[in-house]
Structure 1
Amino acid sequence: MDSSISRLGPVFTDSNGAVDAAKAGLGVALVRRSFVASLIEEGLLIVPFEQGMKSSLAYYLVYPAVSLEQPHIAAFHRWLTAIARQ
């Protein structure tokens, strides 16, 4: 790790680490609100300011079409689609 970067504070490779640090009171995590909505509702995290930011980034769920015949895959697809609409 570049020492000039590490002196600025922790560096996380994914949102989970940043959220865990925020839950522990170690700072602020900039993540999608839908990712932490349940933690906010439970009072484990707060939203320090209401200004949001739209992102042009997108995620894609890809799988063979036949996979939707499997109940657990179909359930995951429904759940993910519902979360994405929030």
Structure 2
Amino acid sequence: MSLRLRSDIATTSTEHGTVLLDERTGRYWQLNNTGSSVLHALLAGQSQERIAAGLAERHDLDPRQARSDVTAIIDRLRAAKLLVTS
């Protein structure tokens, strides 16, 4: 499953992560650095499993917790209709 941002979602990187703006509604979301790295890895085509493994290694997390965290981020972005399946 390949995910991408909707074409009308603008992004801006900040020192604290990434801000996403829905140009249709004017709503915006801010991702912290971890959420931002998850999003960028997804957009680069990495699998959820690979992203979670990287987080677990970098932050000394239980791999199950890392998978749960990555899934939660993706689920929230999809629920907000920011991410779509390509």
TM-score by length of 2: 0.26
Q: Which has the higher strand share?
A: 2
Mark the structure with the bigger radius of gyration. Answer: 1
